[in-house]
Structures are given as C-alpha cells and as structure tokens.
Amino acid sequence: MRGRAGEAHTVADARPAKILPGEEGVWILVLGDMIVFGLFFITYLYYRAQEADLFDRSQARLNLHLGVINTLLLLTSSWFVAMGVQAVRDERSGRAKTLLRLAFLCGAGFCAIKAIEYTETFDQGATLVTNNFFMFYFMYTGIHLLHVAIGLAVLLFLMHKADEAVPQDVRIFESGATFWHMVDLLWIMLFPLLYLVK
C-alpha cells in the first residue's frame, strides 16, 4: 500500500507544472504596471466625480474618431502578434516575421494618429495645465505612449530574432507578446475612461 502511494506521488511529481506563457519576470512587470494604472484610473474617476461638468465639456473636445481608429489599430496589432507567436511555434519564421512587421506597422500607426490628435488638441488651446481633465488626458496617454514606444522596440527585436528562431525561443516571443498585449489592454481601459465615460 505504501509502495503504491509513493509510486503515485512520484508520477504526480513527474508531471510538468502548468506555466504561464513567457518568462515569469514579464508577468511580474505586467502585474505591477496594471496595479499602477489601476490607481491612475481610480484617481481619475475620483476627480471626475468632483468636476463632472468640466470633465464632460473637456471630453467633448477630444476627437472620438481618432480614438476609435487607434483602438482598432492596437486590437489588430495584438492579433498579428498572437499569430506571429503561433508561427514561431509552428517553425514558420518567414510568416512570423511578416506578422510581427504588420503588428509593428499598426503600433507605429497608433503613434502617428496620437501625434495628430495631440496637435489638434494643442491647436484648440488645450495643454497639460488647462484643467484637471487635460492634465489626466496628457499624463495618462503620454505614459501609455511611452509603453507603446517600448513595445515597438520589443517588436523590432522579435522581428530580428524571427530570422533565426527555433522552437526553444518561443518563450522569448511569448514574453514580448505578453508585454504588447498589456499595452493593448491598457488602451482598452484608457479609451472608454477618457473618451466615453460620462
């Protein structure tokens, strides 16, 4: 009886533990970032409740159409990244590089449109010091834009790595994809908060 229990214990220990895709350190970074942005969102909602009319009037000055296009660009880029990681798993390096390049182009498009939107907002006379809404808008979208820039650098690295990718490299690609998906998720939360919440 004891032998069987010991044998069962050994078999259970031999099973591979279920792990998250990518490196554990990336998930710690993602969790930390999400906590910080969560505090940002709570702070924004608190101040919005104090100055609802001001926030509504200021929000109406944003270009909702550009915000929607940027949302679609990031969602599309995340899809390309996910497909790119799958291509690495399938040992199709050429396809992986093409998909990552498309994801990069979507991310670069996001940056270009954000620059256009910032220019429009500045032309209306709105800056970081105009009022609390625009302080939050420029601060939060600026921090997010920094994340996008870092993510684009990661995608460039993965595009280079795709040329010589082997199945053992898949965790590197999963780690990069995890960061990029976090960038996308942060925007999915920022967009309704800044553009839609009344």
In a domain, 38, yes or no: yes
Q: What is the 3-state secondary structure (H, E, C) of the chain?
A: CHHHHHHHHHHHHHCCCCCCCCCHHHHHHHHHHHHHHHHHHHHHHHHHHHCHHHHHHHHCCCCHHHHHHHHHHHHHHHHHHHHHHHHHHCCCHHHHHHHHHHHHHHHHHHHHHHHHHHHHHHHCCCCCCCCHHHHHHHHHHHHHHHHHHHHHHHHHHHHHHHCCCCHHHHHHHHHHHHHHHHHHHHHHHHHHHHHHCC
pLDDT given for residue 78 in this prediction: 96
pLDDT given for residue 169 in this prediction: 76
Cα dihedral: 98, 103, 108, 113 (round 10):
130
In a domain, 114, yes or no: yes
In a domain, 12, yes or no: no
In a domain, 2, yes or no: no
In a domain, 110, yes or no: yes
In a domain, 125, yes or no: yes
Q: Which residue range(s) make up the domain with 104?
A: 23-196
pLDDT given for residue 17 in this prediction: 52
In a domain, 127, yes or no: yes
pLDDT given for residue 110 in this prediction: 98
In a domain, 5, yes or no: no
Q: How many domains does the chain have?
A: 1
* 10-residue stretch averages of pLDDT, the chain, 198 residues long: 47 50 75 92 95 95 96 97 92 90 97 96 93 96 96 94 77 91 95 92
pLDDT given for residue 14 in this prediction: 43
pLDDT given for residue 21 in this prediction: 66
